[in-house]
Amino acid sequence: MIKLSESGFALLKKCLEIHNPSLIPIIESPDNDDYSDDFYNELRGTVAAELCNKGFQPDYEPNAYGLELEALIDEIGRLFLYKIPIYASKMELNRVETRCECGDTMSSSQNYDIEYRFFSDREWMTIIQSEAAYPTPMAIPFPENVAWLCPKCKRIHIFKDDSMKRIALYELAVKE
């Protein structure tokens, strides 16, 4: 089954019912969650057709429905345009949760202000030394590590790549 938000899935299904019903069984199949880039682009094209038909005001600015369709095109694009394990597998699609030592449950789907990404000096030097490999900022890979800040106790959890294996835990020495 395609990994979209609940509202995104419903909107995609609505677009497919109008423009390409033969794709509905494919996106609903629980046995399939690995689609080709061409398939994702076909889905985006279907949503774009709906956007052209009903998503614009007379002055060619998107209406509310058009903004939802544009957001869906972006959401589908993120499923394949940035195939980077840290986002595509664990962090974004599986809605990771972990428990802090203070007992608070931290969730990447409920609080986007807990997750921070950073590069080690080694990673950053590799990136800037191979500038030709990264012609645009969007081409820069995600860092190897991710930090989560517990909103309750302010502990910082450092995880290695998309495995969510904690490699360090920092606690504030002085509390406010």
Rounded to an integer, the average pLDDT of 36-52 is: 91
Average pLDDT, the chain: 81
Q: Percent of the chain scored above 90 by pLDDT?
A: 31
Rounded to an integer, the average pLDDT of 102-109 is: 81
**Confidence at residue 68, expressed as pLDDT on a 0 to 100 scale:** 94
Cα–Cα distance, 14 to 8 (Å, whole number): 10
pLDDT range class, residue 137, cuts 50, 70, 90: low
Assess whether pLDDT exceeds 50 at residue 148. Answer: yes
Query: 162 near 85, Cβ under 8 Å?
Result: yes
**Confidence at residue 88, expressed as pLDDT on a 0 to 100 scale:** 38
Question: What is the longest distance spanned by two Cα atoms in the chain?
Answer: 60
Say which residue, 108 or 2, is predicted with more confidence: 2
**Confidence at residue 45, expressed as pLDDT on a 0 to 100 scale:** 92
pLDDT range class, residue 22, cuts 50, 70, 90: very high
Query: 53 near 63, Cβ under 8 Å?
Result: no
Ordered alpha helix ranges (H), the chain? 6-19, 24-28, 37-54, 64-80, 85, 121-129
**Confidence at residue 48, expressed as pLDDT on a 0 to 100 scale:** 93
**Confidence at residue 82, expressed as pLDDT on a 0 to 100 scale:** 60
Query: 69 near 55, Cβ under 8 Å?
Result: yes
